[in-house]
Structure 1
């Protein structure tokens, strides 16, 4: 799960900050500092669903702004997927919407 969380963060930050002609954002870039796998690993070990949702929400919020918000087609779908993720109350409930969110972000990159 930690890898999926880190990937969602990476793809979100790529949408928000990466621009054509510049170096790509990588997992070891400073912007990923609060969203690296070890940070998510700690949250997962603690079973901290709320903490995970906050971390993911920070990144995905930036991605949502980058695609024009929920009033745009890409933003509507992203918002729907985030809503599904936010409805999770247990670690087990996070997995399916997290994978869907990761796959969607990958597709729109």
Structure 2
């Protein structure tokens, strides 16, 4: 799960900060500091669903801004997928919506 969470963060931050004329954002870049796998690993070990959802929501918010907000079709779908992830209350329920969110972000970045 930690790798999937880190991927959601990475793809979101790529949408928000990466430009065509700059080098690509990588997992070990400074912008990923609060969203690296070890940060998510700690939250997962604690079973901190709210903490995980907060971190993902921060990243998705940046991605939403980058693609024009919820007024755009891409933004509406991203918000829907993020809402499904945020509505889960237990760790066991996070996998499927997390994978859908990760795959969508990967496709649009």
TM-score range (shorter-chain normalised) is over 0.9
Alignment correspondent of 1:45: 45
CA RMSD of aligned residues (A): 0.4
2: CA distance between counterparts of 1:7 and 1:68? 21
Q: Which runs of at least 4 in structure 1 moved beyond 2 Å after TM superposition?
A: none
Residue segments in structure 1 that go unaligned for 5+ positions in a row: none
Write out per-residue CA displacement over residues 67-92 of structure 1, whole angstroms, 9 at most, x where no aligned residue. Answer: 11111010000000001001110001
Q: Please say if 1:12 is aligned against 2:2.
A: no
For 2:89, what is the secondary structure of its paired residue?
Answer: coil
Alignment of 1:69-88 (within 5 A): 69-88=69-88
Partner of 1:62: 62
Q: Report the TM-score, using the length of structure 1 for normalisation.
A: 0.99
